[in-house]
Amino acid sequence: MNSQLPQLFKENILQGTTIVQKQTYLKDLKGFFYHEAERELLLQNQLVYEVDAYFPVSAGTEGGLFFGVTRLQPGMVGNEYFMTRGHFHAIANRAEYYWTIEGHGQLILMNHEREICIEEMQPGSLHYIPGHMAHRVANTGNSLLSFGACWPADAGYDYTTIESEGFSARLCKVNGLPVLLTDEQQAL
Ligand code: S6P
Ligand code: ZN
């Protein structure tokens, strides 16, 4: 049996020879924010978030686990906080853990009936995301929000449901505070 070199999770950074990085810029988030016209006016090459991930087994391996760290920048598009795309898992019943490393935000969870709730993210907070829940994170602070994630290697991603239908509400800054607003409420 070949032993693997351990990866490092040190000073809040995931390091190692097999870490895969993915960046998401404002130009990648067309149509995600209510105020799309305002997103277009912003610098398209502005980094919104990046993920460092460790995939010790192939995607789809039943029983395997993946590990990642997401760094979400502070920022707004109109009254909406910078956020991750959000997704269901392709195998919808697969659960996941998030935990907050630094910064402040909200974890937005939505089930298939489009019922939605939020959990406050602050350093040390641990979040169990049950299966069948779309999950998205918004950075509600003025500094970087960094969180870890651990999920099953066969979970996969269903991005298309959120791309086409969105979440049933968006996290918006109202009188300085994060509030969930439906598009109907925004339009008032
Ligand atoms: C994977 C896990 C995270 C997200 C990351 C970016 O199951 O939930 O690693 O991939 O936070 O979010 P998104 O929605 O763009 O994949
Ligand atoms: Zn996930």
Residue with CA closest to ligand 1 atom 3:
149
145-152 vs 76-77, strand pairing mode: unpaired
Taking the CA of residue 24 as reference, the ligand 1 atom at the shortest distance is: 15
Q: Each residue's pLDDT tens digit in the chain (188 positions)?
A: 667 777 889 888 898 888 999 999 999 999 999 999 999 999 999 999 999 999 999 999 999 999 999 999 999 999 999 999 999 999 999 999 999 999 999 999 999 999 999 999 999 999 999 999 999 999 999 999 999 999 999 999 999 999 999 999 999 999 999 999 999 999 88
pTM: 0.96
* Atom 6 of ligand 1, residue of closest alpha carbon: 84
Lookup: tokens for 170: 């968006």
Distance 39 CA to ligand 2 centre (A): 25
To the nearest 10°, report the CA torsion of 36, 37, 43, 49. Answer: -10
Helix runs in the chain, H state only: 36-41, 160-165, 183-187
- Residue with CA closest to ligand 1 atom 15: 85
